[in-house]
Chains A and B, each alone.
Chain A
């Protein structure tokens, strides 16, 4: 089975307290914040590896990101992916979800036939949860989101369980298709030093816009349909009147206020 895993590199949430806004340009300064694989994309990769450990086949990871993200892809290779394709071009930067999905879909077409595309359901940074469904639209294949279980037996359609509000549903679906996974699906494996060394032998191809057949004007900052009109840190707005005295007095004072305001 040929499985393509879409993988986004994201700023490591442990360092988010360092995120700052440039007040002039309204852009984000993420200096000194290391990048990591988007957590759910690790689950997607894990699922791809597990399926192919049984079936045999190829797992290819693709990512649209600047060249600095090569180490992040190496981590994916160390987990067990067979090869990686990095889509890296200035022209891609600033793409919204439509532009991102379009570039990824064209790259998938360039890779050739596939059975399954696995994505994370959403990322922790932009977090729109839109890219996977849009990839499937560009490829004209079905997609399912919120996937928590994938069952496969040779010769039969896949049985895919996905979460819906207050429950779940199971559908039978045949490849090719796009599935985006939630964290309940599996526990991603640890990467050992040996895996890391082994991964250094594996290939990372870097493709630019020249390598893709991009004919639609929706890629990059200027051509993306959505634009960031403003970026701001939400206001906190209130500044508490502090009642700090001993616990008894504070409790009485608050109870009185709540009473006066009609809450008790």
Chain B
């Protein structure tokens, strides 16, 4: 088995021949942390026929790609993946091991941490590194109404799963690292279930993820026919529509439009929250926009403590007027 000098490892997922963004976002964060601690960074890639992906990851600036390439690792199985990764970790002893809080990462992370008898911080929304090399992971509890900083002092590696969308994607450039191939350690006995069917919906990125403008509507919108006003405002600004949980529960918006602890994290430049109260469960899903605007008929609504500009009144009156006032700027 090849030896790794890297102290920060990032598990990078792929599906259907493509790298998953959260893995790359973690690469960027790991490179930042690595610079601070003077630690090298490795991406860990597991699958079959993945060397092209390994080459691609090198262009994002990692020092090493640790690649486990084996027919038995073709389909994701936590037994096989956790064994592969645990063996590599024991051999190389990284300080930090990060995974995305995807369906796969949330399943693999805890099994791997238990195998290694180390701590795992759950779906973090931020990571800090102390000068002593200790990772502080900011994790939401009670659906985000309270945050905890979790540390893992005595056991290694310090592990965390991180929510997609909280860190920036890395720039690609000249590859400078090397690929280290991990020896196969799994055999058929390690995999005790059989996948009989996999169904994937068309991979379509929600435009919410990349939108520069997000207009989100809440329970106060009141009825499906009023939801059109939210869509109209978003469309005149060239933005995407987001929603709170009650708006999704009412069927005005789709589940994939939900922003917050159980929904997506968005990073727009402009966020406009309409007829929503500003509950923490929703607000934690909005990362540092340049401008936050709230529209609510209740001037004491908490949304106004999250915003730079607040409009008080009935959105059914305000939105049509706002749309009318915005349109001419685009017509010029």
Please tell me if the beta carbons of B308 and A169 are within 8 angstroms of each other in the complex: no
Binding stretch for chain A, among B2-10, B35-43, B54-62, B189-197: B189-197
In the complex, residue of chain A having the shortest beta-carbon distance to the beta carbon of B236: A264
Query: Is A194 interfacial (CB 8 A cutoff)?
Result: no
In the complex, residue of chain A having the shortest beta-carbon distance to the beta carbon of B118: A225
Q: Which residues of B contact A19 (CB under 8 A)?
A: 142, 145-146
Please tell me if the beta carbons of B322 and A255 are within 8 angstroms of each other in the complex: yes
Q: How far is the CA of A137 from the CA of B330 in the complex (A)?
A: 58
Given the known interface contacts A97-B120, A172-B193, A244-B310, the answer about A233 and B292 at a Cβ–Cβ threshold of 8 Å is no
Given the known interface contacts A168-B199, A264-B237, the answer about A129 and B213 at a Cβ–Cβ threshold of 8 Å is no
Q: Which residues of B contact A13 (CB under 8 A)?
A: 142-143
Q: Which residues of A contact B304 (CB under 8 A)?
A: 239-240, 242
In the complex, residue of chain B having the shortest beta-carbon distance to the beta carbon of A162: B103
Please tell me if the beta carbons of B312 and A225 are within 8 angstroms of each other in the complex: no
Please tell me if the beta carbons of A133 and B154 are within 8 angstroms of each other in the complex: no
Binding stretch for chain A, among B108-116, B178-186, B218-226, B246-254: B108-116
Please tell me if the beta carbons of B152 and A243 are within 8 angstroms of each other in the complex: no
Query: Is B71 interfacial (CB 8 A cutoff)?
Result: no
Query: Is A241 interfacial (CB 8 A cutoff)?
Result: yes
Please tell me if the beta carbons of B120 and A130 are within 8 angstroms of each other in the complex: yes
Query: Is B259 interfacial (CB 8 A cutoff)?
Result: no
Please tell me if the beta carbons of B280 and A234 are within 8 angstroms of each other in the complex: yes
Binding stretch for chain B, among A66-74, A78-86, A141-149, A195-203: A141-149
Band of interface residues on B: 35 or more
Please tell me if the beta carbons of A159 and B196 are within 8 angstroms of each other in the complex: yes
Q: Which residues of B contact A157 (CB under 8 A)?
A: 194
Q: Which residues of A contact B175 (CB under 8 A)?
A: none
Q: Which of A242, A244, A263 contacts B213 (CB 8 A)?
A: A263
Query: Is A250 interfacial (CB 8 A cutoff)?
Result: yes
Query: Is B150 interfacial (CB 8 A cutoff)?
Result: yes
Query: Is A28 interfacial (CB 8 A cutoff)?
Result: yes
Please tell me if the beta carbons of A145 and B107 are within 8 angstroms of each other in the complex: yes
- Near B by CB (< 8 A), chain A positions 207-264 give 216, 218, 224-234, 236-244, 246-248, 250-252, 254-259, 261, 263-264
Dominant secondary structure at the A interface: mixed
Binding stretch for chain A, among B24-32, B88-96, B166-174, B313-321: B313-321
Q: Which of A134, A228, A238 contacts B149 (CB 8 A)?
A: A228
Please tell me if the beta carbons of A261 and B142 are within 8 angstroms of each other in the complex: no
Please tell me if the beta carbons of B111 and A124 are within 8 angstroms of each other in the complex: no
In the complex, residue of chain B having the shortest beta-carbon distance to the beta carbon of A169: B198
Q: Which residues of B contact A254 (CB under 8 A)?
A: 293, 309, 311, 322, 325
Given the known interface contacts A242-B310, A247-B317, the answer about A169 and B141 at a Cβ–Cβ threshold of 8 Å is no
Q: Which residues of A contact B136 (CB under 8 A)?
A: 229
Please tell me if the beta carbons of A238 and B307 are within 8 angstroms of each other in the complex: yes
Smallest Cβ distance from B16 to chain A, in angstroms? 10
Smallest Cβ distance from B255 to chain A, in angstroms? 11
Q: Which residues of B contact A239 (CB under 8 A)?
A: 304-305
- Near A by CB (< 8 A), chain B positions 228-271 give 236-237, 269-270
Q: Which of A96, A129, A216, A244 contacts B119 (CB 8 A)?
A: A96
In the complex, residue of chain A having the shortest beta-carbon distance to the beta carbon of B121: A226
Given the known interface contacts A137-B82, A251-B324, A261-B291, the answer about A227 and B150 at a Cβ–Cβ threshold of 8 Å is yes
Query: Is A193 interfacial (CB 8 A cutoff)?
Result: no
Please tell me if the beta carbons of B149 and A169 are within 8 angstroms of each other in the complex: no
Q: How far is the CA of A254 from the CA of B293 in the complex (A)?
A: 9
Please tell me if the beta carbons of B306 and A244 are within 8 angstroms of each other in the complex: no
Q: Which residues of A contact B307 (CB under 8 A)?
A: 238, 240
Contact digits for A97-135, partner B, Cβ 8 Å, 1 yes 0 no: 110010000000000000000000000111111111110
Residue among A136, A144, A169, A261 having the largest count of chain B Cβ atoms under 10 Å: A169
Please tell me if the beta carbons of B199 and A169 are within 8 angstroms of each other in the complex: yes
Q: How far is the CA of A203 from the CA of B300 in the complex (A)?
A: 50
Q: Which residues of A contact B114 (CB under 8 A)?
A: 98, 101, 133-134, 137-138
Smallest Cβ distance from B26 to chain A, in angstroms? 16
Please tell me if the beta carbons of A243 and B309 are within 8 angstroms of each other in the complex: yes
Query: Is B132 interfacial (CB 8 A cutoff)?
Result: no
Smallest Cβ distance from B254 to chain A, in angstroms? 13
Query: Is B52 interfacial (CB 8 A cutoff)?
Result: no
Query: Is B19 interfacial (CB 8 A cutoff)?
Result: no
Chain B residues engaging chain A, CB cutoff 8 angstroms: 15, 78-79, 82, 102-104, 106-107, 109-111, 113-115, 117-123, 136, 139-155, 192-203, 213, 236-237, 269-270, 280, 283-284, 290-294, 299, 302, 304-314, 317-318, 321-322, 324-326, 329-330
- Starting from the known contacts A134-B113, A225-B118, A250-B313, 13 additional A-B residue pairs (CB-CB under 8 Å) come to A126-B122, A128-B139, A129-B123, A133-B109, A165-B15, A166-B202, A172-B194, A227-B153, A238-B307, A240-B294, A240-B309, A241-B309, A254-B325
18 contacts between A and B (CB under 8 A): A129-B110, A133-B109, A137-B82, A143-B78, A145-B107, A166-B200, A166-B202, A167-B199, A171-B194, A172-B193, A172-B194, A225-B118, A226-B119, A227-B151, A232-B146, A240-B294, A243-B309, A264-B326
Chain A residues engaging chain B, CB cutoff 8 angstroms: 11, 13, 16, 19, 21, 28, 96-98, 101, 124-134, 136-138, 142-146, 157, 159, 163-174, 216, 218, 224-234, 236-244, 246-248, 250-252, 254-259, 261, 263-264
Closest 8 CB pairs of A and B: A225-B119, A240-B310, A128-B122, A255-B325, A226-B119, A251-B321, A137-B114, A130-B110
